[in-house]
Structure 1
């Protein structure tokens, strides 16, 4: 038996969000980005729901292994390639597509020992300066790979660094100019992340790579997921396990950070920072309970947290609180705790049971 703390994953929300990406980029194929265990939602379960994708994109070879072991047959893209030469053969044998972004990875290919053809994408650094070949070095990399046996250079990709900041369109336009000047007619192009899918149709190209939008969160600081037409895929819930009556002046939790300014009722929830809820969340961070928003009160503990339910009558042990989800956007919680929805959902720990619901 679990303690009732769960991440409820909505299949209908995932499908809605995927279809929204398809509506926005109707002429592009879709790499559904399910790295980091599908942003905390469960990679195998999400892959099985998003079976209409053209392929899946992950960050590590281990993530790809998990999908293949579960019987996932669609193409899988390793977004940062491999870090060891020996892994290229496994990538080829597992029919993975591999991003190459540096000279050292090119050298790995000289030791490729596989009868399978390895499909590769070359990463072009258009200005983010994280990964990728410079425009000056790209042609040399293409020429080198075309001389390698069992290697098929299928495409060129880049990553947008400021597509989520609509106040700086010149940066995205500059990046687009770089990749347009580096195109090869026989190579596929992939540019667009979630923000680009939503707001930069000129980036859509042959393949788009939606990530956070698939899970119903927004990549933008000032545009909500609802405005984009997205639905929350994860609803994180935890039960009330205790109710305390506090007199005015009494305090709650470690460090006695929160003190009652009136006679108060405090409910304790079975969730804490070991479950992935941020310890640094301040007093007042919203929690949804019984149809209303109530405030976090006191420091988040390893396994528990407290909320002020003084103005919420009839709360009882066993009631389920929503930490974020269908009623309380994860992006709103993120603003309170000075982070983004991406971090909150990916940090939900393995001990929180994931349950796929319709």
Structure 2
């Protein structure tokens, strides 16, 4: 059997949820489990994050799966309903849709749910993605409250730079100023805001990335934040090559040796979810010690520098990210985000579930 494997820890997710709760104060937590729980598996996340106050997903299918798994907590639909035909399932499954455009209001007005539902109203406070303009908050909130079949309303927004130096104030203050008079609960905090900006804690926080043990910040590691990686992608060296000075390795010969050296070939490639654009120097662990990738990542293999690893050979264990090598460190070196790496784990990679 090909040696690549993803180890996913249920216990690490439960631990990270406890860390999130320690920052949340009186706010309740929606555990964000969209995109197959950021590549970790919806069923595994449901168990690891069972103590969450609610779950947040993207689609009706994800929500229905959670209900079938026995989830009784509130489930938030982050992009709301995509047509009037989804109103009845929302009521049946007791889902809380996010409303972010006028068409969704029209659908609810024409086909009110037989069972009243909770809704979230999303306002655009500066990200300019989804949401009603803040300037229309009074009319939007009034219309939502008058919709037939609406049991309650929560206001929300989303931050564009909570994980960067610009922070949240430029969005949070206008949002709070505009919506303060409605007397309605509100939600704004993602992982980065939850960890760094307690003023963003309304009625509900929506942590995602941190629950899987990755830091949203470039200046604070997951370990420093008390988080544990839930996913470890590991494999082995399946071949060793000896290069002479001037010889290259891999497609396009992007790496050429400056001196004689040993190169290990690892059973992992972009078809497994490792980023093809990760070039020479991306960190990797061999036998528990740091090394670097060499050259271009292939579909099924990548190469690693064994110059300082005389003990390494065929069968030596390799960690691509996870225990001992934070996914955000690999992502930064590869010019991408830890979100992309985790979500890109391929279906062909076997998963070993850990407690």
Please classify the TM superposition score into its range, dividing by the shorter chain length: over 0.9
CA contact (8 A) 1:11 1:356 kept: yes
Residue 329 of structure 2 corresponds to which residue in structure 1?
332
Question: Which whole-Å CA distance do the structure 2 matches of 1:102 and 1:69 have between them?
Answer: 29
Of residues 37-46 and 259-268 in structure 1, the stretch that sits farther from structure 2 once superposed is 259-268
Which one is further off, 15-24 or 148-157? 148-157
Please name the residue that 1:117 is paired with. 116
Kept in 1, the 8 Å contact 2:145–2:153? The answer is: no
Distance 2:251 2:133 in 1: 51
**1:320 shift after superposition:** 2.1
Q: Is 2:236–2:314's contact at 8 Å kept on the other side of the alignment?
A: yes
- Secondary structure (helix, strand or coil) at the match of 1:130 reads coil
Separation in 2, partners of 1:154, 1:100: 10
Moved more, 28-37 or 63-72: 63-72
Match of 1:190? Answer: 187
SS at match of 1:225: coil
- Larger deviation, residues 98-107 vs 144-153: 144-153
1:16 maps to what in 2? Answer: 15
Paired position in structure 1 for 2:47: 48
**1:320 counterpart (317, 320, 324):** 317
Q: State the shift of 1:132 in Å.
A: 1.2
Q: Report what 1:293 is aligned to.
A: 290
Residue number in structure 2 paired with 1:38: 37
Partners of 2:87 and 2:235 in 1: how far apart? 43
Distance 1:174 1:99 in 2: 19
**What secondary structure does 1:268 align onto?**
strand
After the TM superposition, list the runs of 4 or more consecutive aligned residues in structure 1 that deviate by more than 4 angstroms: none
1:63 matched to which residue of 2? 62
Q: Secondary structure at the match of 1:241?
A: strand
Could you tell me which runs of 5 or more consecutive residues in structure 1 were left unpaired when the two chains were aligned. Answer: none
Partner secondary structure for residue 284 of structure 1: coil
CA distance in 2: counterparts of 1:87 and 1:109, whole angstroms = 10
Note if 1:126 corresponds to 2:134: no
> Given the two structures, how large is their TM-score scaled by the length of structure 2?
0.94
Instruction: Verify: 1:237 aligned to 2:234, yes or no.
Output: yes
Number of the residue aligned with 1:356: 353
Report how far residue 188 of structure 1 moved.
Answer: 1.9
CA distance in 2, matches of 1:122, 1:228: 31
2:222 aligned partner = 225
Deviation at 1:222, TM superposition (A): 1.7
The 8 Å contact of residues 144 and 153 in structure 2, kept in 1 or not, is answered as: no
Q: Do 2:112 and 2:149's aligned partners in 1 also have CA atoms closer than 8 Å?
A: no
- Report the Cα offset of residue 173 of structure 1: 4.5
State the number of aligned residues. 355
Unaligned runs of 5+ residues in structure 2 are none
**More displaced, 221-230 or 137-146?**
137-146
232-241 or 50-59: which moved more?
232-241
Whether the 8 Å contact between 2:172 and 2:200 is mirrored in structure 1 is no
Q: Name the SS of the counterpart of 1:120 in structure 2.
A: strand
Does 2:143 correspond to 1:176?
no
Worse overlay, 348-357 or 64-73: 64-73
How far apart are 1:314 and its partner, in Å? Answer: 2.5
Residue number in structure 2 paired with 1:207: 204
CA distance in 1 between counterparts of 2:58 and 2:254 reads 39
Is 1:282 matched up with 2:279?
Answer: yes
Residue number in structure 2 paired with 1:269: 266
Q: Output the CA distance in 2 between the equivalents of 1:305 and 1:139.
A: 56
SS in 2 for 1:181: helix
Q: CA deviation at 1:113?
A: 5.6
- Tell me which moved more, 342-351 or 49-58: 342-351
How much is the aligned-residue C-alpha RMSD, in angstroms?
Answer: 1.8
What is the CA–CA distance in structure 1 between the aligned matches of 2:244 and 2:145, rounded to whole Å? Answer: 76
SS in 2 for 1:74: coil
Of 243-252 and 200-209, deviating more is 243-252
CA distance in 2, matches of 1:100, 1:239: 47
